[in-house]
Amino acid sequence: MSTKRLSRRDFLKAVGVTAGSGAFVAALSACGGQQVAQAPQPTEAQKAEAKPTEAPKEAAGRAYFDFDKMVNKDEWGRLPTDHKKGTLISQADWYKLLGDPPTEPIVMVGFNGGWGTKWVDIMLEQLKKEHPGLEVKTDFDPRIWEKMKPSLVAGEVPDWMYATLGGWGGQWMQGVTDGLVAPGDFLLDLEAYGFSGQRVEEIMFPGSLKAANGGLTDHQWTFPMSQYMLGIYYNTDLFEANNWPSPDTITWEEFMDLQKQIAEKIKPWTYAGKYPGYMDNVMSPLMYKKAGQQAYCDLDNLVAGAFNNPDLAWGIEQVQTIFKNDWIYQGSEAMTHTESQQIFVDGKCAMIPNGSWLENEQRETTPQGFRMSYSGVPAPKDGKGFKNAIYASIGSADLQIGNGKHPLWGMEIMRIFYSPAVAKLWAGDIGTPIPIKDAMQGAKASDALQSALDRLVKADGHYGAISHYGQWYPTISKPWSDNMGDILWGKIAPNDILAQLERAADEVRKDATIEKHELTECTDVLSQ
C-alpha cells in the first residue's frame, strides 16, 4: 500500500466520513420539481483543485496489481496488458473479456441494515438480464462481518463485498493488507452501465473515489456507496417564530449567546447519550474551524505534539460549556439515537447533532407538519479553518471487489451497482444518493435536504474535520471514543484527553509493527 490522505473519522457506524465538493450539489440538484437545489457550477476551490486522477500510474492488466497475489490468476490474466489508463473499454469488449458466466455461482455478500436489500434485487435483475445463465449466491446479514470471518480465514473470499471486512466494513484496509481485496482500477475505464459511452470514473461524483479509498493511492481498493452530511439540525418553525438565525449564519461566539436565549424557552439540545459520538458532529467541525486544516493533517501524519494544540482544546471546552450550562434535554444521556431523534421531532428541544439520514430515519414517527433544517457548525471569530466548510461524507468506503474465485465478475457487480436503476431506488425509496453525478434521478429534495444542499453550495468544495488516524490507527481514537461521554460532561479536562491522544499517537509512532501512512498533500478540498 502506498500513502496519502483521506477521511478523519469513520463516524459512528464505522462509515468513513469523507470530504467532497460542490459536485455533490450537482448530483442532488439534478432533481426536478419545485424544491430543487440551485443549478450547480464548479466551485472556485474545485476549479483550482481539478486535475486528472493520478492512480493508477501504470497500464492496466498485470500492472494493475501484484499478479502473484491474485487467487484466480487465469481470470485476472484476461485483462489486457496493453490497456492505456483513461481509455474507454466498451461494454461489448468488456463482455468479451468476461466470457461466459462461470459454472459455479458468483458470490455477493453484504450488510443488511436500515437500507434494506431492495437495491440488491435490482442489481440481480440487471445482472441476470445482461448475463443469462449467471448464477449469483447472495448473503446479506446484519452481522455479515462476523459471519464471514471463518470463510475469509479459510481463503473463501466473496467476489463482491459490502461492509464485510470488519465491523460495518470498517477494517477494509486490513483486508487490503491481507490480500482479500482485488484492485478496481480497471473498472474505472469500463463503460458505465446505463451511461452509454461514459467510463465508470466519469460518472462518479467528483472526489468520491478518492474519499472512499482511505488515503491509499496505489490502487482503487474500495468504492463508495452513499453520501451524507453531518452537523446541526434545528426546529425550523421554532427558529422562525422566535426570529432566531440559522446557527451557521452567525459566529460560534454569537451562537453561544443564541443558545442562552433558546434556553429561556426550551432546552436547546438533545443528543444520543448512548452514542455520545453524535455530539462529535459539532465538536470536530468546531475544532477544525478553530485550528485549521494543517492541524488536522498533523494529526494524521503523527506529528509529535500535534494533539497538544490549544485550538483543539478550545473546541472541546466550548462543547463542554453547552453541557455545563444545562442546555441538554433531561435524560438524553441515557437515550439511543432514535430516542433522541424522537425528542427532537416531537419539538421538545431546539437542536440535535445529526446527519442527513435523520429525516428519513424518523419519517414514520415525525408529527405531521414538523419542519427541520440543516446547519453547519458556526465558525469562531478567529478560526483558521474555512468558515463555511461542511462536515460530510461524499463517499463512504463500503464496497470492495473480492480477491476470490471471480474478481472480474466482482467488478461487473460493482459496475451494475452504479446504474441508473439502482441510483433511482436509493434516491427515491432510501432517500440517500449514491455517489454518481446524476444520483437523484429526478427525485425531489425535501426542505431539510434542500437546506443541506444550500450549505454545500456555500462550502465551495471545502470539507472540514476530515481525518484518517481513527481508521489508520484505531488505538489512537479509542481514548477519544471511550471517553466521549466524560469529555462532553466535562469530567475530563480538554488538555487531559488531548494528552491521552498524544500518548496513544506516540505509542503508534514508536511501534514498528504498525504500518504507517502519510498525507502527501494537506487540503480540505477533494477532487476526483
Helix, strand, or coil (residue 374): strand
CA 153/CA 157 separation, integer angstroms: 9
Question: Buried b vs exposed e over 476-505: b needs ≥16 C-beta within 10 Å?
Answer: bbebbbebbbebbebebebbebbebbbebb
Instruction: Report the nearest approach of another protein to the CB of residue 322 (Å).
Output: 14
Q: Which is nearer to another protein, 186 or 357 (CB)?
A: 357
Helix, strand, or coil (residue 147): helix
Instruction: Report the nearest approach of another protein to the CB of residue 47 (Å).
Output: 40
Residue 167 CB coordination number (10 Å) = 14
Q: Which is nearer to another protein, 103 or 513 (CB)?
A: 513
Instruction: Report the nearest approach of another protein to the CB of residue 394 (Å).
Output: 24
SS3 content of the chain, % helix, strand, coil (to 5): 45, 10, 45
Instruction: Report the nearest approach of another protein to the CB of residue 160 (Å).
Output: 17
CA 435/CA 203 separation, integer angstroms: 9
CA-closest candidate to residue 450, choices 111, 143, 122, 33: 33
Q: Which is nearer to another protein, 52 or 142 (CB)?
A: 142
Instruction: Report the nearest approach of another protein to the CB of residue 479 (Å).
Output: 8
Q: Which is nearer to another protein, 132 or 142 (CB)?
A: 142
**Rg of the chain on CA atoms, in Å:** 23
Q: Which is nearer to another protein, 158 or 385 (CB)?
A: 158
CA-closest candidate to residue 354, choices 212, 480, 489, 234: 234
Q: Which is nearer to another protein, 81 or 330 (CB)?
A: 330
Helix, strand, or coil (residue 381): coil
Helix, strand, or coil (residue 468): coil
Q: Which is nearer to another protein, 491 or 516 (CB)?
A: 491
* DSSP, residue by residue, 291-351: H-HHHHHHHHTT-TTTT--HHHHHHHHHHHHHHHTT-B-TTGGG--HHHHHHHHHTTSEEE
Cis peptide before 56 (omega within 30 of 0): yes
324's CB contacts (< 8 A; 6+ apart) are 490
CA 171/CA 165 separation, integer angstroms: 5
Instruction: Name the amino acid, one letter, at 328.
Output: I
Q: Which is nearer to another protein, 13 or 289 (CB)?
A: 13
Instruction: Report the nearest approach of another protein to the CB of residue 189 (Å).
Output: 29
Interacting residues with another protein (CB under 8 A): 145-146, 149, 152-153, 155, 165-167, 170-171, 174-175, 177-180, 273-275, 277, 330-331, 333-336, 339, 342-343, 474-475, 478-479, 481-483, 485-486, 489, 491, 500, 503, 513
All cell numbers assigned to 38: 440551485
Cα 290-43-214 angle, rounded to 5 deg: 65
Strand-pair category, 267-269 with 349-355: parallel
Q: Which is nearer to another protein, 282 or 449 (CB)?
A: 282
Q: Which is nearer to another protein, 191 or 333 (CB)?
A: 333
Dihedral angle computed from the Cα positions of residues 100, 101, 102 and 105, in that order, rounded to the nearest 10 degrees: -170
Instruction: Report the nearest approach of another protein to the CB of residue 222 (Å).
Output: 15
Please tell me what DSSP assigns to residue 446: P
Instruction: Report the nearest approach of another protein to the CB of residue 333 (Å).
Output: 5
Q: Which is nearer to another protein, 257 or 515 (CB)?
A: 515
Instruction: Report the nearest approach of another protein to the CB of residue 257 (Å).
Output: 26
Q: Which is nearer to another protein, 345 or 394 (CB)?
A: 345
Instruction: Report the nearest approach of another protein to the CB of residue 343 (Å).
Output: 7
Instruction: Name the amino acid, one letter, at 494.
Output: P
Instruction: Report the nearest approach of another protein to the CB of residue 411 (Å).
Output: 21
CA 483/CA 505 separation, integer angstroms: 16
Instruction: Report the nearest approach of another protein to the CB of residue 355 (Å).
Output: 16
